[in-house]
Structure 1
């Protein structure tokens, strides 16, 4: 267990030096956990003392980073960028969003012009399912999108109405608005988090078949290349 701990903590220090504090904090936490297991399994008192000293040092640094991140959030300066490379996996909605969905989240705003086609409507449905599952207590979801100008307009409205009715069973109100000029893609939570994704919710590639891995589990679905920008502000502007 010592070798994996050293590897993770080395990565934490590298990310720390590169000012990638959010990622480094995660690595510090994982590395400390691994090192604590090493300490527990060690009988040599001299080695124990060495491990305790290292753990204490890493814990102090992790705590400093945590305080820095919280201060950035309070000042509205927090910014994290994730670059999703072409064909990479492991970027389900849960992986991207759940860490920002605290129990205080009760209202969500989604601005995405491309909630039109069947697969995009399914994407939106999956996003709603994630919100309902918690741990947040969402009561209102606002969707601003654009009409499907082709023959799919009736289907688009029908599906969104069906999702709207289904959400009511969970005590959630879906408010749908349409704009012909909407272009930007943005998701906001009323706890101050703002997430901008270059491709909106539609960053997954089409599965090779209905019975292929990744059809149901989005963590196994290859992605299109896109960039995710995450901000924190004190007050979220409502639309």
Structure 2
């Protein structure tokens, strides 16, 4: 369904807000974070371009997109060289109310077709929004180019009133993943505190807040093809 002019205008404002943040991060030499925002902003602006009918506006949008893409490509080459030289160590701090930090934009660069197994350690996959977070992360893992077949989740067991909610939610996610040919192995521990994600291609990510850094989506526990673009961060 085509978007209305008002919807396109709103999305355009959001896109340029994300790109403005990218330029700010770029000027502060926070290149990895800038690259993430450039990617997110360009994607949003491309969606606006596809829905725009006015030729003059389309021409201006193409010029702006090209400029941002050129800068993003320069940053990508720089970051790739840093990785190749063994100097790559990234620390990303997501500020309150920041946008452009979806799971895809943060983790996709570590994923390729060699990733078949993932280990997630997060003590707080309990409440409804935390279960949604985990589901959305699993959605990302089964998209191309990944060939994930097994996901291991180590979390803590809720012994309170939400125990049944946690158990049934994780079971629904497990069954949904099975329908996509992916095995979810669950393990519980009362002593874990650290949060980390490991891929079997060698990458390890220490993630301070775990997967719980954006507001909960309002849908059920089933995999879906569409993906939220904006995430509102609260620390």
Mark yes or no: TM-score above 0.5.
Answer: yes
Unaligned runs of 5+ in 2: 1-22, 43-62, 220-225
Q: Does 1:66 align with 2:66?
A: no
RMSD: 3.8
Map 1:1-239 onto structure 2 (within 5 A): 18=29, 22=32, 66-72=80-86, 78-205=88-215, 218-225=228-235
The whole-number CA distance in structure 2 between the counterparts of 1:115 and 1:200 is 9
TM-score, normalising length: structure 1 = 0.63
Structure with the higher strand share, 1 or 2: 1
**1:42-66 deviation line (CA, Å, top 9, x unaligned):** xxxxxxxxxxxxx9xx97x975763
The whole-number CA distance in structure 1 between the counterparts of 2:82 and 2:88 is 10
Query: Displacement, 1:14?
Result: 5.5
User: Displaced runs of 4+ in structure 1, greater than 3 A?
Assistant: 10-15, 20-27, 61-68, 216-219
TM-score, normalising length: structure 2 = 0.64
Query: Displacement, 1:23?
Result: 6.1
2:7 aligned partner: none
SS in 1 for 2:184: strand
Alpha-carbon spacing, 1:13–1:169, altered in 2? closer, same or farther (3 Å): closer
Contact 2:36 2:106 in 1 (8 A): no
Contact 1:148 1:156 in 2 (8 A): yes
SS in 2 for 1:220: coil
Larger radius of gyration: 1
The whole-number CA distance in structure 2 between the counterparts of 1:155 and 1:12 is 40
Contact 2:196 2:204 in 1 (8 A): yes
Higher relative contact order (CA 8 A, sep 6+): 1
SS in 1 for 2:229: helix
